[in-house]
Structure 1
Amino acid sequence: MTRKVSNFSDLIQRVTASCLLHPLATAASGKEDENSPYDSEENRNEEYEEEENEEYKEEEEYEEERAVGPLKALKVKQMEGLMEEVFETVSSMKRAYVRLQEAHSPWDPERMRAADVAVVAELRKLAVLRERFRRSGGGEGKRKGRRRGGGVASVREVVAPYEAVVEELKKEVKVKDLEVKNLREKLDSAVALSSNGSGEKKPGRSLSKRKLGIQAIAAVPTPELFEAAMVQVREASKSFTSLLLSLMHNAHWDITAAVRSIEAATASTEKYHSTSTTSIVSAHHAKYALESYISRKIFQGFDHETFYMDGSLSSLLNPDQFRRDCFTQYRDMKSMDPTELLGILPTCHFGKFCSKKYLAIVHPKMEESLFGNLEQHSQVQAGNHPRSEFYNEFLGMAKTVWLLHLLAFSLNPAPSQFEASRGAEFHQQYMDSVVKFSGGRVSAGQVVGFPVSPGFKLGNGSVIKARVYLIART
């Protein structure tokens, strides 16, 4: 028994030593972690919860897509409709602007006002569409803000050219207002002058001027209005001639040789030829020869409705409408500054007329000798109009002739132009001498040396005398 106990004690010691040398707790605990029913159940619960959450998220996304889809489609449809309205408005604006441009040439104030109203109306429509676009953009995100800003920028880019046109029209209105004021001042001074009279003028002439001042604001074309326009042509022609002659003197021209050249050019177109090698014009009368040259150039083609700048036959195909159009253009242009007009419409019919006549009157060699270069000549040839004092003076003269031409084709019947021929007998009924004789009467034996400006026979039987330079019969 004692041996069994001893053996049993030895056995316990050996087991105890073995447990101390080889602990089983870690291995057992590892196996428990791998095979524990509690741990595996927790893992399965976690996996199930994750799967359930994913399914829930998918269902939420699906529900959101189902809810947002119709709203998104509606918004896209609204934006498409808005853009269609924008494109239609821009197209309408372009058409209105084209009509505005067409109303400038030929000049039609009624069409111009209507087109201007249409352009402004389309601009207002665009402003309304812009506000609608801003309100419909609505998002708080930066991306939406950028989109909205880009849309507004694009609309502004479209509107910018038309806003510039509106500004130009406003400037033109201001110019017209100033011209109206200047015209009223001139009219008041002309009426005052005609009422005071002049001791050197005949009573009949003073009465005629008073009538002309009244007729200047008439609503229909009249022969008296044509007479007043012819007076303005002569005054403008004298002013331009004086400026050109002074420039010739400053450039040390041989005025006598220039006059002989003008006389030779005049004689080549007349039946009468002078055999004298000396000038028939005295030194202090050179201005009349120069004015004759200018008048002949600028009145060339006056009998045609466009000065033969094109082959138009409107005055023959629809004469009544053409007369109305001419008088409308006359009334619109009368109060305008030609420089401002050509700054806006350099290639209108009046602009082409000015270019053609300037190149005909001022030869390149003449311009180079007067100004030292051909800058103005080059600009006119390119279709532009210089802003020089000399060209502005020329434009003033060209405008008076253009207005006279418009009036001529406004009247029914139209005035008939005539010109005294070189060497013709002097007829007081149809001619007026530019050189005044003692006693106020032309001495016997005087003939036409050369014509200075043309005359006209009017439909009411009155005559605008041709101005001539007289010489003694040889």
Structure 2
Amino acid sequence: MDSIKPSALPTPNKSRLARTFAKVLHFRMATGAALVDGIQKVKSQDNVSEDLSVGKDEELENKVAMEALLAKLFASVSSVKAAYAQLQHAQSPYDADGIQAADQMVVSELMSLSELKQCYLKKQFDPSPETALLSAEIQELKSVVKTYEIMVKKFESQLRLKESELIFLREKLDEETKQNRQIEKRLNQSGQLHVLDNLHHSGLTTTHFTTVLRHTIKSIRSFVRLMVEEMKSNGLDIDAAANAIQPSGVYWKDDHKCFAFESYVCRQMFDAFNYPNFSLSYKSLPDKKPEQEHQLFFRQFMELKSLKPKEFLAQKPKSTFAKFCHVKYLRLVNPQLESSLFGNLSQRNMVSAGEFPNTTFFASFTEMAKRVWLLHCLAFSFEPEASIFQVSKGCRFSEVYMDSVADEAFLSPESDPQVAFTVVPGFRIQKTVIQCQVYLSPLHTNVSINDKGT
């Protein structure tokens, strides 16, 4: 059913009623003047003049009667509109009594319109046009006001509906966000390495290493996002923190400062990567051949790959991987950072005591640490071992060794970008080079590659 549009509704105006009163007064004054003038003409004029005066009176009466009829016509139309609006309003939500009352009103007003038509055709005008004119104007104004009241109720109902829809969409957004986080968490877990389940040491290739590296970088970035969110929620100055990591850093976009945090995490986690077990309690046995040592690292990789970090740490709290988690956490999350994030040093104290905090933040850290450890074990499974490298600040960009994390550095044809800092280190496996990821700034110098780790 068509809706009543506010633009189609007549605007109630107090001056209309005033004009109606003015018309009635004008009619009465004109009639009275005509009567007085008629009496004078009886005394001073002949019968012809008297007939002309009577004709003018009749013409004025017919005019007023016609205006009264038109006023009643417009009043009935306004009543029909009001009844129609009420009928629409009663349909949603469904109101049987309201629909019946509105329907009766529509029928009644349509009958009134039919009666007005007959009165016009038969020249049957209201005997008291002044009163009819005022009554019609009042009826029309009441109908317009009633229509507006119904429209207001309709708009209020629509507003409540929109508010309910908004609440529903917000709840749905929250639910979808939670599901996305769960999916992301599952993607960062070991189940994504199931393609390596049937892998044997003899079949190890650089493709397997790049697969593990890709998941390691995802895990690092997930931890960085969590760390930055914790910093923001605790009111820490992100700009100041980024500048502390990369002093005088210039970024193409403001949100690129996240790469500074990513570079910091990678620098801490990959430090000493080129040493067996990150130089944590590893001694090469003289009676073991190099091939046996490579197989030992491969077995460590396969053992940890299918387990969650929490499970492995619970089973082997004194393992080298457990020590790796303790050392790296204490270096990565310094006392000042932890105090700013959590308001105390309780987690750090637990880690220092050889324990593993049961928190979301530490769980995210151990998942990242596991990926770095797996990558390290796999690197030492190769013959010769895979090595890590990074490029120094100010190096000229090289497509052989580097991959830019920000395409904006190449948008200007006149730019000759230089390395501002290494975000993710690169790797060499036999004759294969896996590019390091760098953030570029628009200057250049000579290439300098550091093979001694980060």
TM-score band by shorter chain is 0.5 to 0.7
**2:193 aligned with 1:222, yes or no?**
no
CA gap 1:385/1:400 in 2 versus in 1, 3 angstroms: same
Cα distance in 2 for residues equivalent to 1:345 and 1:313: 22
What is aligned with 2:419?
Answer: 448
**2:205 aligned with 1:234, yes or no?**
no
**2:230 aligned with 1:247, yes or no?**
yes
Cα distance in 2 for residues equivalent to 1:444 and 1:345: 53
What is aligned with 1:462?
Answer: 432
Cα distance in 2 for residues equivalent to 1:430 and 1:315: 36
For the 8 Å contact 1:315–1:322, the answer to whether it is kept is no
| Secondary structure of the structure 2 residue equivalent to 1:306 | helix
The residue identity in structure 1 corresponding to 2:200 is: A
CA gap 1:310/1:187 in 2 versus in 1, 3 angstroms: closer
CA positional deviation for 1:224: 1.3
5 Å-filtered alignment, 1:12-411, equals 186=192, 213=195, 217-220=198-201, 221-264=204-247, 278-281=248-251, 282-310=253-281, 312-314=283-285, 318-411=289-382
For the 8 Å contact 1:306–1:312, the answer to whether it is kept is no
Q: Which of residues 407, 411, 432 in structure 2 aligns to 1:436? A: 407
CA gap 1:253/1:318 in 2 versus in 1, 3 angstroms: same
Cα distance in 2 for residues equivalent to 1:348 and 1:456: 26
What is aligned with 1:425?
Answer: 396
**2:442 aligned with 1:472, yes or no?**
yes
| Secondary structure of the structure 2 residue equivalent to 1:307 | helix
Runs of 5+ consecutive residues of structure 1 not aligned to the other structure: 1-178, 189-212, 265-277
| Secondary structure of the structure 2 residue equivalent to 1:437 | helix
For the 8 Å contact 1:302–1:405, the answer to whether it is kept is yes
If you compute each CA radius of gyration, which structure gives the higher value, 1 or 2?
1
For the 8 Å contact 1:447–1:473, the answer to whether it is kept is yes
| Secondary structure of the structure 1 residue equivalent to 2:279 | coil
Cα distance in 2 for residues equivalent to 1:438 and 1:411: 35
CA gap 1:463/1:228 in 2 versus in 1, 3 angstroms: same
Q: CA RMSD in A?
A: 2.5
For the 8 Å contact 1:422–1:450, the answer to whether it is kept is yes
| Secondary structure of the structure 2 residue equivalent to 1:244 | helix
CA positional deviation for 1:315: 9.0
For the 8 Å contact 2:409–2:417, the answer to whether it is kept is no
The superposition leaves residues 402-430 of structure 1 with CA deviations (integer Å, 9 ceiling, x where unpaired) of 00110111101111211011000000111
Cα distance in 1 for residues equivalent to 2:226 and 2:426: 24
For the 8 Å contact 2:190–2:308, the answer to whether it is kept is no
For the 8 Å contact 2:409–2:440, the answer to whether it is kept is no
Cα distance in 1 for residues equivalent to 2:259 and 2:361: 19
CA positional deviation for 1:316: 9.7
CA gap 1:216/1:288 in 2 versus in 1, 3 angstroms: farther
The residue identity in structure 1 corresponding to 2:242 is: V
CA positional deviation for 1:447: 0.4
CA gap 1:443/1:338 in 2 versus in 1, 3 angstroms: farther
CA positional deviation for 1:441: 9.9
The residue identity in structure 1 corresponding to 2:383 is: N
CA positional deviation for 1:279: 3.1
CA positional deviation for 1:367: 0.7
CA gap 1:229/1:320 in 2 versus in 1, 3 angstroms: same
| Secondary structure of the structure 1 residue equivalent to 2:407 | coil
For the 8 Å contact 2:193–2:212, the answer to whether it is kept is no
CA gap 1:432/1:316 in 2 versus in 1, 3 angstroms: farther
CA gap 1:309/1:443 in 2 versus in 1, 3 angstroms: farther
The residue identity in structure 2 corresponding to 1:404 is: L
User: TM-score scaled to structure 1, two decimals?
Assistant: 0.50
CA positional deviation for 1:325: 1.0
CA positional deviation for 1:313: 2.6
For the 8 Å contact 1:256–1:283, the answer to whether it is kept is no
CA gap 1:285/1:317 in 2 versus in 1, 3 angstroms: same
The residue identity in structure 1 corresponding to 2:384 is: P
CA positional deviation for 1:385: 0.8
For the 8 Å contact 1:330–1:407, the answer to whether it is kept is yes
CA positional deviation for 1:437: 3.4
Identity of aligned residues (%): 35
For the 8 Å contact 1:216–1:228, the answer to whether it is kept is no
CA gap 1:258/1:250 in 2 versus in 1, 3 angstroms: same
The residue identity in structure 2 corresponding to 1:304 is: Y
CA positional deviation for 1:453: 1.1
Q: How many residues align?
A: 254
CA gap 1:288/1:376 in 2 versus in 1, 3 angstroms: same
Cα distance in 2 for residues equivalent to 1:465 and 1:442: 23
The residue identity in structure 2 corresponding to 1:345 is: K
Runs of 5+ consecutive residues of structure 2 not aligned to the other structure: 1-185, 445-454
Cα distance in 1 for residues equivalent to 2:249 and 2:286: 43
The residue identity in structure 2 corresponding to 1:417 is: I
